[in-house]
Amino acid sequence: MCESAFGLAREITALTVLAEAGDLRRFSRHRQFLKFCGLDLAAEQSGQFRGVTTLSKRGNAGLRAVFCMAASVTVRMRENSFRAKFERYNGGQVIHSPETHHGVPGTKTMSRK
């Protein structure tokens, strides 16, 4: 039962991405798709001032929410390569704080807008 529900979730995620993004062939580079989703990086700068680099969040909020949910589910799975990369990036810890969503840092702020 659990395996079939997980398989259905993957199909629903893929269909949601296709519905929100349309024809993916229109993006000749992956960075164009990231920008369309609002997952590209933006930094506030002015003269000598260099601000914090964050996600731009200027793209499709629905796609950001889908990718945020898929990432949080994938991180919670025990054995997969994405979780290993996440743990290396995060120093082996999953931090639970007000700025996290399901224990994944940055996902609450990523999916809000």
pTM exceeds 0.85: no
> Tens of pLDDT along 72-95?
888 777 777 777 787 787 776 655
Instruction: Give pLDDT tens digits for 37-74.
Output: 999 888 888 888 888 888 888 999 999 999 888 888 88
- Between 8-22, 28-42, 71-85, the lowest mean confidence (pLDDT) is in 71-85
Per the structure, the complete domain to which residue 8 belongs is given by: 2-112
Q: Number of structural domains, the chain? A: 1
Tokens 């949080």 belong to 72
Q: How far apart are CA 90 and CA 65, in angstroms?
A: 21
Q: What is the DSSP string of 72-104?
A: HHHHHSSS-HHHHHHHHHTTT----STTEETTE
